[in-house]
Amino acid sequence: MKLLLDENVLSEVETFLISAGYDVKRVSSGSENGEVINAALAERRVLVTHDIHFSNILIYPPNRYCGIIRIRIHPPSADKIVSSLQRLLNKVAPEEFNKRLYILEEDDFRVRLLPE
């Protein structure tokens, strides 16, 4: 599975994902939200971000993208995020991220999608 990490994702999370065998790229520091989501779309990558704006389905309708994982874990420690991401990635098949928004929380996750 191909992932695009927003600049706000911890480097320890990136290291975990790479070691788990995922194809991971990171956006350039200072990239605007439009650039980030367009890069994810152009490269057919699932966006991984802490940015609350990407969970707004009116601005970023999930059915237009290859998937968005919005990390909603506070405080955002690497251990908590890695553990939660690992649980999500073990439960959800790669093709199930397409056209869906996942809100990742410490103990669970929620999925949002729009009817086609």
Per-residue pLDDT tens for 55-80? 999 999 999 999 999 999 999 999 99
3-27 burial: b if 16+ Cβ within 10 Å, else e: bbbbeebbeebbebbeeeebebeeb
**What is the fold of 2-107?**
Rossmann fold (3.40.50)
Please name which of 54, 45, 52 lies closest in space to residue 25, comparing C-alpha atoms. 45
* The pLDDT of residue 73: 97
* The pLDDT of residue 114: 77
* The pLDDT of residue 43: 97
d(CA 27, CA 53): 16
SS3 label, residue 3: strand
Which residues lie closer than 8 Å to 30 by C-beta, 6 or more apart?
Answer: 7
* The pLDDT of residue 36: 97
* The pLDDT of residue 68: 98
Domain range summary for the chain, segments of one domain joined by +: 2-107
Cβ(5)–Cβ(26) below 8 Å:
yes
Bond into 62 cis (ω within 30): no
pLDDT tens, position by position, for the chain (116 residues)?
A: 999 999 999 999 999 999 999 999 999 999 999 999 999 999 999 999 999 999 999 999 999 999 999 999 999 999 999 999 999 999 999 999 999 999 999 999 999 987 66
